[in-house]
Amino acid sequence: MTEKTDVPLRADARRNIDALLKAALTVFGELGVDAPMRTIATRAGVGVGTLYRHFPQRSDLIKAIIRREVEALVDAATDPVEHAGPGAALAAWLNRLVDLVATKRGLGPALHSGDPAYQSLPDFVFGALTPALGALLASGVEAGIIRDDVDASDLLQAVLRVAAPAREGNVTQAKRMVALLIDGLHRSNAV
């Protein structure tokens, strides 16, 4: 897959990959993970050969979508802290995590298929998101608004479980339930 090479991509190749990932996420959400690759290529405005050049297997495309979404969430963990208070930054990030769970809706059948191509994804997701969440929690603890006994790994697991309705399309309910978790993170004197 092109994503893992050390050779820098040309601007047009980068645009094609971005267009393919966006199109695939949309098409998979609409038609499921077995959607025709031609549909994804057409939606991205590229030829099927371009799609297969960058993503030789359907699993390569699905893994690239997940990696891209997770990396964007990790990047978001550092950005909002500077623009809002630590509590607001943590809440915004956890709500973006719910949105990530919702994007998985169309990808679920593939990710839970038992296909060995996806075996490394859970370690990647938790390995990337746990430190990002830990940094947000630490900022809240330092500001005196978040309890100091919250483990980032435990919280990540809890949010992913509570956000389960987002997988079925009920993002609003998932965000309401995550808001309850967020309230429980605050120090009793900070509420």
Q: Do both 73 and 123 map to the same domain?
A: yes
Rounded average pLDDT over 38-66? 95
112 and 159 within one domain: yes
User: What are the pLDDT digits (tens) for 149-167?
Assistant: 999 999 999 999 998 888 8
Residue 190 has pLDDT above 50, yes or no: no
Q: In this structure, are 32 and 76 located in the same domain?
A: no
Same-domain pairing of 16 and 89: no
- Residue range(s) defining the domain that contains residue 38: 1-56
Does residue 107 share a domain with residue 37?
Answer: no
31: its two tokens: 């038609």
Q: What is the pTM of this model?
A: 0.84
> What CATH number does the domain containing 43 carry?
1.10.10.60
Domain boundary pick from 56, 75, 98 = 56
User: How far, in Å, CA of 145 to CA of 138, rounded?
Assistant: 10
| Tens digits of residue pLDDT in 114-137 | 889 888 888 999 999 999 999 999
pLDDT at 191: 46
Give residue 84's pLDDT: 75
Task: Check whether residue 120 and residue 191 sit in a common domain.
Answer: yes
Tens digit of each residue's pLDDT (9 = 90 or more) over 65-119? 999 999 999 999 987 656 678 999 999 999 999 988 887 766 777 777 788 988 8
By CB neighbour count within 10 A (0-12 exposed, 13-18 middle, 19+ buried), where does 161 fall? exposed
State the average pLDDT over residues 137-152: 94
* Residues 102 and 28 both lie in one domain: no
Q: Is pLDDT at 189 greater than 70 in this prediction?
A: no
Domain boundary among 39, 56, 73: 56
| Judgement on whether residues 35 and 79 belong to the same structural domain of the protein | no
* Residues 47 and 82 placed together within one structural domain of the fold: no
Tokens of 26: 């949309």
Give strand pairing partners of 186. 146
Same domain, 96 and 125: yes
Residues 13 and 74 in one domain: no
Mean pLDDT of the 31-59 span = 94
What CATH number corresponds to the domain at position 90?
Answer: 1.10.357.10
What is the total count of domains within the chain? 2
Among candidate residues 23, 34, 37, 35, the one with its CA nearest the CA of residue 115: 34
